[in-house]
């Protein structure tokens, strides 16, 4: 697959400066010149993901994150577009120059397929890591984005629940596995199944942030109630364990509305219900219904790669900015 490249304006936005400022810095020799490629008689300027780190160091910019974040995409209602958005979200973080690990908990491998990662019978997943004690690094695969890796989902995850029952400290196995990665990644993005399982409990206890996609409909609203009820039960059950985060299971909880159709009366009414009961957690960013997201899923690539300029891609980038508090360019 073709390497991700940036045009001058886009690259300047990633760095948080203007195009004019970037060009002036290059002219003054304070940063390396843009790469160039000739197509026909025209020479085009471009930058790569590797250039982001180099330029940030040259400009004396602080790192985007001061420590690793583990973020869990979880919903108790299916059909919310969770895998499509979580895979694009992970890709969008990698576009910013962050080193990202995507983790698929689904035996149907939806996130894996959305990122275009191919698997076979020899592919390792969390089953081999948590149940058979394999080194987590052996299960990590490369994606088409240089700084986006993944632990794929495989069919063996469909039997992981029964095997986890016999394990000591069974709810903390994933947390322990992630700790062995040390400082390899800036962000870990987990895509979980819409169910209450031991594997999902592992993901909850291993994560810093919870990100919940919902639709502006009654069933999503009902699913949120079930999710928060289960999280409250877990918080009571695991509060006594050493190393547990104080003040709750997560440092932050972000709910965002996906496939939002602002012209529909029911969608607007259901959004008001979400605002009334979950305003504390509800993101301002709403991802509209966008056919490009469905098309990109069918093509086996995140929408930010399939159509970087579409409205869906723009709003996913805005969601990233909102969740992390990055300045919008």
Whichever domain contains 15, its CATH number is: 1.10.1660.10
Q: Do 73 and 52 lie in a common domain?
A: no
Residue 319 lies in a domain: yes
| Span 170-180, pLDDT tens digits | 999 999 999 99
pLDDT at 283: 96
Whichever domain contains 142, its CATH number is: 3.40.50.300
Domain limits for position 151: 69-324
Confidence of residue 329 (pLDDT cuts 50, 70, 90): very low
Q: Do 22 and 98 lie in a common domain?
A: no
Q: Do 75 and 157 lie in a common domain?
A: yes
Distances (CA, A) of 157 to 108, 114, 294, 314: 9, 18, 25, 33
Q: Do 54 and 73 lie in a common domain?
A: no
What mean pLDDT comes out for the span 9-26? 93
| Span 284-299, pLDDT tens digits | 999 999 999 999 999 9
Q: Do 249 and 100 lie in a common domain?
A: yes
| Span 219-267, pLDDT tens digits | 888 889 999 999 989 888 886 555 555 457 899 999 999 999 989 998 9
| Span 106-138, pLDDT tens digits | 999 999 999 999 999 999 999 999 999 999 999
What mean pLDDT comes out for the span 301-306? 94
Please, what is the average pLDDT of the chain? 92
| Span 53-106, pLDDT tens digits | 999 999 999 889 999 999 999 998 888 999 999 999 999 999 999 999 999 999
Q: Is residue 255 a contact partner of residue 224, using CB atoms and an 8 Å limit?
A: yes
Q: Do 110 and 179 lie in a common domain?
A: yes
Residue 138 lies in a domain: yes
Domain boundary among 41, 59, 77: 59
Following DSSP, what letter does each residue of 162-222 receive, concatenated? HHHTTSTTGGGHHHHHHHTTTTS-SEEEEE--SS--HHHHHHHHH-SEEEEEE-SSHHHHH
With CA atoms as reference, report the closest residue to 17 among 56, 51, 44.
56
**Residue 190 clears pLDDT 90, i.e. is over it:** yes
Q: What percent of the chain has pLDDT over 70?
A: 96
Residue 251 lies in a domain: yes
Residue 64 lies in a domain: no
**Residue 211 clears pLDDT 90, i.e. is over it:** yes
Residue 239 lies in a domain: yes
pLDDT at 77: 85
pLDDT at 92: 96
- Split into its structural domains, the chain has a count of 2
Q: Do 202 and 302 lie in a common domain?
A: yes
């Amino acid at each position: 697959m073709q390497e991700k490249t940036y045009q001058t304006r886009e690259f300047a936005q990633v760095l948080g400066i203007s195009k004019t400022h970037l060009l002036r810095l290059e002219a003054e020799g304070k940063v390396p010149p843009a790469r160039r490629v000739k197509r026909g008689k025209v020479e085009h300027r471009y930058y790569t993901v590797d250039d982001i780190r180099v330029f940030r160091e040259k400009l004396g910019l602080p790192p985007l994150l001061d420590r690793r974040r583990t973020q869990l995409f979880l919903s108790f209602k299916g059909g919310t577009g969770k895998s499509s958005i979580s895979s694009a979200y992970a890709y969008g973080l990698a576009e910013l120059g962050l080193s990202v690990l995507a983790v698929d908990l689904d035996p149907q491998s939806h996130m894996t397929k959305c990122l275009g990662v191919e698997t076979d019978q020899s592919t390792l997943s969390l089953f081999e890591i948590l149940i058979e004690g394999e080194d987590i690094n052996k299960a990590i695969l490369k994606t088409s984005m240089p700084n986006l890796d993944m632990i794929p989902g495989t069919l063996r995850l469909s039997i992981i629940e029964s095997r986890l029952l016999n394990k000591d400290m069974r709810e903390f196995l994933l947390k322990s596995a992630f700790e062995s990665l040390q400082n390899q990644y800036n962000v870990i993005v987990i895509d979980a199944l819409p169910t209450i399982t031991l594997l999902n409990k592992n993901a909850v206890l291993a994560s810093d942030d919870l990100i919940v996609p919902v639709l502006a409909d009654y069933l999503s609203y009902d699913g949120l109630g079930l999710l928060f009820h289960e999280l409250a039960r877990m918080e009571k059950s695991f509060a006594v364990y050493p190393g547990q985060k104080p003040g709750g299971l997560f440092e932050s909880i972000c709910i965002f509305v996906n496939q939002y159709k602002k012209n529909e009366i029911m969608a607007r009414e259901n959004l008001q219900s979400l605002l009334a009961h979950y305003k504390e957690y509800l993101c301002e960013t709403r991802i509209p219904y966008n056919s490009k997201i469905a098309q990109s899923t069918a093509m086996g690539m995140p929408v930010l790669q399939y159509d970087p300029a579409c409205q869906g891609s723009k709003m996913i980038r805005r969601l990233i900015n909102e969740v992390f508090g990055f300045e919008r360019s």
